Structure 1
Amino acid sequence: MTVTMWEVRAADGQLQQLLAWLLPRLAESAQVYRSAAGEPRVVVLDPTGEVTGRLAGVPAGLIARPAHAWQFEAVGNGSAGTSHLTSERQDPGSEQQGSGEYGSEQQDPGSEQVGQ
């Protein structure tokens, strides 16, 4: 599966207007993200690959520079069948090699325990 990632920086003060222009033009399956901080950016992930054509002709007053687009192929998400993508790592103070995933004894530092 190929996914297109389309990214653009909004002109100063134009992020909401840019979103209002592009959202109705996207495929229903497209995912849209805006930057949480820093420069006002919009990223679209489109599994149909149609985003570049659908968003051609963005009004120049809405963007700070031309949009960029890249094609990506899926390589797995850590589920069965992707073991060849897992790298081994060694935890500090441990001589044991890990599988690259967090086991039941170690929590992902970016996650929270919920419902326990």
Structure 2
Amino acid sequence: MADTDEAANDVEHAVIAHYRLAEADLGDPSQWETIRQAQSLLTEAIEQADVGEFDGNEYGGGKVVLYAYGPDADVLFAVMAPILHDLPFRPAHVVLRYGSVDDPSAAEHRVDL
């Protein structure tokens, strides 16, 4: 089935954004709202550009990590970058992964924000 093969190849690369939050383990409510708004903008931008999907977040250890996946990490990051740069939390960086999480040879590139 060609559709199954295409679907398997559609989500190979990742853009993973890491932000430091307040001292508290999960940040504070105002930070959550800022992240929630950014997630909405990211979802809309990624869908409109048809470059992948925003997959959610993970809070803990005084930081939040945002996850997006698509067939081309560079194109996906280009769409996400303006929104990611606007988030006020620092230090921050993005990891672009070129390949599946299951592929030990997948290259990664770090971009400081």
Higher RCO (C-alpha under 8 Å, 6+ residues apart)? 2
From the two aligned structures, give the one with the greater helix fraction: 2
From the two aligned structures, give the one with the greater strand fraction: 2
Task: Report the structure number with the largest CA radius of gyration.
Answer: 1
